[in-house]
Amino acid sequence: MNLHAVLTEVIPTLASLIEGIGVLIILYGCVKSLYLFIVDKLNLNNNQPKLELAKALAFSLEFKLAAEILKTVIIQTIDEFIVLSAIVILRVVLTVVIHWEIKSTNSEEGE
């Protein structure tokens, strides 16, 4: 059995596990943000729940991006490459936007 055949069998499972970790991080971030929001008596002016959720989303996107990078090893057609490229680009854009939001929120708190 050659290396490509082994990778073709193993990578989908690894990518799914890594994406699952990303989903768990999102879930954790949502629960923690909701808890902070409720503890603060549903105060919409408090940025802490928003920051916690944004950090969790950014962290989870890193795991999801890692899974997509792993998937590039087993691409066999140009159509798969195009779809995977679009997903990677969208996730990178989302990560940049979330990091920008975190930075701008932190700047507002510093004022």
The domain spans of the chain are: 3-110
Relative orientation angle of helices 48-71 and 3-39, to the nearest 10 degrees: 170
Q: What is the pLDDT of residues 95-104, one digit of tens each?
A: 899 989 888 8
Q: What is the pLDDT of residues 40-55, one digit of tens each?
A: 988 888 888 989 999 9
Q: For residue 22, give both structure tokens.
A: 């990303």
